[in-house]
């Protein structure tokens, strides 16, 4: 079972073109051959530098997410009645302008016009071009 999970997490997805491991941790996983036989990435690894770089990466994570493109869920009060059940469930894309607090975002459209209310992350979905 662990090998199945490892292969699932290190296989690129067709939608994003990236592996779940990369999207979660910010770098690619090592294949078992790299661990056993060695590679430049493994041989040049310096643990102290890796810890500093990881802390820096985590500190800058929120800033990196500002500017991401997201789709916004169509709410019942904004749904177009004439479209019926075949109407769109998501609209956008919108750009994340600011993070107000964890899970709450301020959005703007692609022309730079600010969306007046804040949006919870449960009503947003990451948009990949």
What domains sit in the chain, N to C, each tagged with a CATH number? Answer: 2-59 (no CATH), 67-126 (2.30.30)
Residue of higher predicted confidence among 110 and 35: 110
Nearest C-alpha neighbor of 108 from the set 126, 120, 94, 123: 94
Q: How far is CA 101 from the centre of its chain?
A: 17
DSSP state at residue 18: S
Tokens of 105: 């975002």
Between CA 104 and CA 61 the distance in angstroms is 15
Summarize pLDDT for 42-100 with one digit per residue, the tens: 777 787 887 887 777 766 555 545 778 899 998 877 777 777 788 888 888 999 988 88
Q: Would you state the pLDDT for residue 61?
A: 58
Q: Supply 41's token pair.
A: 């990435």
Question: Over 90: is that where the pLDDT of 108 sits?
Answer: yes
pLDDT at 21: 81
pLDDT reported for residue 114: 93
Token pair of 52 as six digits: 């500093």
């Amino acid at each position: 079972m662990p090998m199945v999970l490892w292969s699932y997490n290190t296989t690129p997805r067709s939608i994003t073109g990236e592996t779940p491991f990369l999207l979660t941790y910010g770098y690619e996983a090592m294949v078992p051959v790299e661990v056993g036989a060695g590679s430049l990435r493994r041989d040049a690894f310096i643990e102290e530098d890796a810890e500093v770089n990881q802390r820096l990466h985590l500190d800058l994570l929120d800033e990196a997410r500002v500017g991401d493109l997201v789709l916004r869920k169509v709410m019942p009060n904004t749904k177009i009645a004439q479209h019926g059940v075949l109407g769109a469930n998501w609209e956008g894309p919108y750009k994340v302008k600011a993070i107000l607090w964890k899970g709450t975002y301020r959005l703007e459209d692609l022309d730079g016009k600010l969306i007046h209310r804040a949006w919870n992350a449960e009503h947003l979905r990451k948009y990949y071009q």
